[in-house]
Amino acid sequence: MKAITRRGFLRGTMQGAVVGVALPLLNCLLDENGKAYADTGQRLPVRFGTWIWGCGFIPELWIPEQTGNDYQLHGHMAPLQPYRDKLAIFSGFDVKLDGVPNKPHVTGCLGLRTGVPVPDYNVKAPTLDILISDQIADTRFSSIEVSTSGVQRSYSYRDAGSVNPSEVSPLALYRRIFGEGFQDPNAMDFQPDPRYMVHKSVLSATQEERRQLMNSVGAEDRARLDEYFTSIRELEQKLALQLQPPAPVENFVMPDEPPQTSLDSEMENVMENHRLMAGLLARALQCNQTRVFNVLFSDTASTLRRAGHSDTHHTLTHEEPVDPALGHQREVAWFAEKSMIAWREFLDALTAIPEGDGVLLDNCLVLAHSDCSIAKSHAVEGIPAMVAGNAGGRIRTGFHMAGKADPISRIGLTVQQAMGLQVDRWGVLSMETNRTITDLLA
Amino acid sequence: MHTDSRNFLRVQNARVRARRTGIFLGVVLLATVLNGCEMPVDKAAEPEAVGGPALLRRLTESQYRASIADIFSPDVPVVARFEKQLRSEGLIAVGTGEAGMSPFSVEQYDNAALGVAETILSEDRRADFVPCTPEDEQTFDASCAAEFIQRYGPVLFRRPLSDEQKVRYLEVARLGAAELGGFYQGLQYALVGMMTAPQFLLRIEQVQTEKNADGEAKEIQRLDAWSMATRLSYFLTNSTPDAELLRAAAAGELDSADGLARQVDRLIASPAFEAAVRAFFRDMLEFDLFEDLAKDAAIYPAYNSTVAADAQEQTLLDIVELLVEQKGDYRDLFTLSETHLTRALGIIYQQPVAPRKGWQKTQLSYQGDRVGIQSHISFVALHAHPGRSSPSLRGAALRKVFLCQEVPDPPADVDFSAVQDASSEQMPTARHRLAVHNSQPACAGCHKIMDPVGLGLENYDGLGTFRSQENNVRIDASGSLDGIDYENPEGLGQALHDHPETARCAVEKLYRFAVGRDTVWYERDYMDYLINTFASSGYQFPELMRTIALSKNFYAIAEAPESQNHIQMAGVTDPERNPL
């Protein structure tokens, strides 16, 4: 059979001929390890994501007593027992401030994600999800951000003026991914839509003025214009993907359109929105719509509320008295535990999808973290963090490591390395590190 | 050259002074004192223009929508989800000069463009928008396509198309027609191309280089006529330049004072002017925060999305009536005793509203216990907790929004636990609870700035309903605003009206809004000029906008000697930007 080139393929298509028949991916097409396609040797993609919850933890109910492999999950971590071996738990790693004022709930979160503590939202370096997506994204969306508590916020920053905004509604998320422009990877016949080709050439034409425009503005604006042109380029690539038959995906089932839900910060609504969005995200990862995601379960200054109560999780951390019998804040503990249950449910969603000889989670690396350790004092020392999944065999899990006040940038550095980035040093001043967490790398 | 170096030194010294001032003025109140040491200036005439950098600004969501409505038709739907806009130096307008363009935003602009183009070139609508008829709908008609591109390109780009651009979009139309089998399909994608181009989505300001007698480029340049028209139009109508303004720009009429004045007066007299005033106050009053505002349904069952929308509209209606229709005194916004209400708002204000639908002009309160826009739901509910009021949030917001005074963030390690038990019998009101809080020295400094002002609004609960008691104890709403004592909310309104910073802050914010950047230290003479003109007009807001639109400084361009030009007026520095 004559080889089909992309160009020839497109030409054929544009003349109206029906080309391209994609077959569902069958297990028999995979090699014995289930890690790669048997005929091409192409590996299953490794995905990266972050999962943020706000207002830290109650240390005595979270930190495992033992370090190393023989650790026990207790207290608020008990719900995660099914994932004990697929989690690496990090306690005692610090954001080092180096005298930078600690903006409550912001400096810790962005410090962890950029390696550079800042006194406000003006990040001085991209967040690590951007570094990773720049390296690995070859999908329809370079990344997908969701926020499940009704708050339009995101901690995915290319620079201070450029945030990747979060989807707050499951329905909007569904329509963006699975609505117009989505191609069922296992559809029996593939017919590229010539509109995509014309649309793509329109965007390519826009690039023609790039150089002239870039020369007409100052340095700072040049960076912003550059971002515009890069985003346009990304859209072109997305359209180019639409012109090729999608790679078949085993076990893919088109998700149902979710109902309209209440988008507020009341806990039960948040849990429901989170479940829906986690399910959609898992399906999107499965069929290669994106390889990078960021989930904001609750904002870092958490607005979560119990129905009928006036105080938010965040205000309670400051204002609720410590229950003398318990030794901690009773209401705050409720939110802290719910946050870990939500994290378990997120891992459930990634586990529900079989992939190769395992599940989707095995081919993910998810970094879960908060913005502070003890929210009452906004402490950025010992921010709780976890890594879940096995990144297609690139990382090892099933241990608890005490950071002993090491810079938390060690986690960010190692995660980047696990995702294949050539980086040997990350962060600035006291946050600068070249110390890989070797326990995590397989 | 001598003048140049003197100017340079003057600027440098000013910067050093500003920095030093910043060191001593971490706390904002002293800003007021500084106003006493103005240099003597000719108050009537505009000082020599100093200008600022040319900017690259994103259209705001409302500007994008208004531009599409004006260029095509108000009934053309714009289907896109605009991301949350970046706020910088207190204004989204300043954020437009710093915001990037994420893949998400480009994706949304692209969706909007596809939707608009589909509508415009649909069988039903194409006759309204395409100025010619092709020979044959199935094939490409170059001259008709060129006519279409010439009809919409220059209005979308707010300047004439270059020859390359004309050819580019013509080629897109040709390709589209060939591949998709129809002339109008080709036009559709040519339009998508123009609507996703940087020249439409971004206001890329360009400078007209002027030379002095020696043939050297002058230190202070001016925007070119098209960029002038664009700045002017978005400032005075919050939308794209109309055909008449583009004509005047092409004819060079904006170069002359008379020609510029004709356009400025025309735009101020146009119906679109109201949209500009609304856009400014939406931005100044931070109404975008309503998108994230949550109220506890069990405590405030009356709050819903209708209330949120009506509350904003109520304030804007009052503002437009006083400032635009009555040409009233800006400061009277804080002492207004009348307002506009809907039934949904009437429930919260505890006022009868006759019409089932729509608005009724009414007293803001029949007991005289509520005056001014700072007592509206749009302020007191926006700056409160989900389930209760907050004197501290309200006080901080009132200073920031109306007086341009920044209150620093709380220290990171505060212990509030003893304080905020709203059901405590020993501390029945917020005043009692905050008094305990303020016994901690680390907190007292800032709370002294915020709380006395916020306590003046304690008669309104977390949603804005009037109350005279909290936990069965009478609420004491007396306080003091920078030396002006008051007994009740009415007194607070008067204090705000009489505060010297009130008008100055409005001027500063309006100018920043107009130019899309922070004011810089060496613009202080110009700011004084604006403030004096504002005062002598009786604080008429449209007059102030007119003064800015006619001033040379508004269009003057000087590249900043350093990028960090965030020093604010009146020696107030943002402690977050300048930790020293």
Residue B37 has pLDDT above 80, yes or no: no
Contact criterion met (CB below 8 Å) for B50 and B558: yes
DSSP for A6-45 reads: HHHHHHHHHTT-----PPPP-GGGB-TTSSBBTTT-PBPP
Tokens of B479: 């306080």
Q: How confident is the model at residue B118 (pLDDT cuts 50, 70, 90)?
A: very high
- Write out pLDDT tens, residues B259-277: 999 999 999 999 999 999 9
Task: Quote the pLDDT of residue A220.
Answer: 85
Amino acid at B120: I
- Per-residue pLDDT band for B18 (boundaries 50, 70, 90) equals very low
Identify all chain A residues contacting B387, using CB atoms and an 8 Å cutoff. Answer: 309-311
Considering only CB atoms, B198 lies closest to which of A101, A153, A225, namely A225
**How far is B200 from chain A, CA to nearest CA, in Å?**
12
Nearest to B102 among A104, A158, A309 (CB): A158
CA angle A101, A102, A105 (to 5 degrees): 155
> Mind listing the pLDDT tens digit for each residue in A181-194?
899 998 888 888 99
Mean pLDDT along residues A322-336: 96
A30: β partners: A37
Q: Residue A207's closest CA among A183, A236, A176?
A: A236
Lowest-confidence region among A16-25, A229-238, B290-299: A16-25
Q: Supply the pLDDT for residue A102.
A: 92
Flag whether pLDDT at B437 surpasses 80. Answer: no
Q: Which of A261, A263, A275 lies closest to A303, judged by CA?
A: A263
Token digits of residue B460: 């309104």
pLDDT at B416: 62
Say which DSSP state A424 is in: S
pLDDT score of B49: 93
- pLDDT over 90 percentage in chain B: 70
Total length of chain A: 442
Q: What is the pLDDT of residue A308?
A: 78
The pTM is what? 0.85
Contact (CB, 8 A) for B405 and B501:
yes
How many Å lie between the alpha carbon of B369 and the closest alpha carbon of chain A? 26
**Cβ–Cβ below 8 Å for B101 and A162:** yes
Confidence at residue A259, expressed as pLDDT on a 0 to 100 scale: 97
Say if residue A23's pLDDT is above 90. no
Per-residue tokens: B289: 């925060």
Q: Are A228 and B409 within 8 A, CB to CB?
A: no
Whether residue A1 has pLDDT greater than 60: no
B438 falls in which pLDDT band (50, 70, 90)? confident
Question: What's the count of helices (H) and strands (E) in chain A, helices before strands?
Answer: 11, 11
Query: Would an 8 Å CB–CB cutoff place A228 in contact with chain B?
Result: yes
What mean pLDDT comes out for the span B140-157? 97
Q: Do A231 and B105 count as a contact with CB atoms less than 8 A apart?
A: yes
Instruction: Name every chain B residue with its beta carbon within 8 A of the beta carbon of A216.
Output: 204, 206
CB atoms within 10 A of CB B36: 7
Q: By mean pLDDT, which of A14-18, A173-177, A370-374 is the weakest? A: A14-18
What pLDDT does A34 receive?
46
Contact indicator for A425, A432 with CB cutoff of 8 Å: yes
User: Six-digit token pair at A296?
Assistant: 């904001």
A227 vs B contacts (CB less than 8 Å): 100-102
How far apart, in whole angstroms, are the C-alpha atoms of residue A273 and residue A234? Answer: 29
Q: Please report residues of A whose CB lies closer than 8 A to that of B185.
A: 198
Partner residue opposite B56 with nearest CB, options A164, A225, A308: A225
Helix B500-515 and helix B524-536, axial crossing angle in degrees, nearest 10: 120
Query: What pLDDT is attached to residue B451?
Result: 85
Q: Lowest mean pLDDT: which of A192-196, A218-222, B310-314? A: A218-222
Banded pLDDT at B368 (limits 50, 70, 90): confident
Split at pLDDT 50, 70, 90, the class of A42 is low
Instruction: Tell me the pairing of strands B221-223 and B556-557.
Output: antiparallel
Share of residues in chain A with pLDDT > 90 (%) = 78
- How high is the pLDDT of residue B43? 57
Judge: A163–B83 Cβ closer than 8 Å, yes or no.
yes
d(CA A102, CA A296): 21
Beta partners for B486?
B479
Side-chain half-sphere of A64: how many Cα atoms within 13 Å? 25
Q: Reply yes or no on whether the pLDDT at A36 is more than 80.
A: no
pLDDT tens digits, A348-371: 999 999 999 999 999 999 999 999
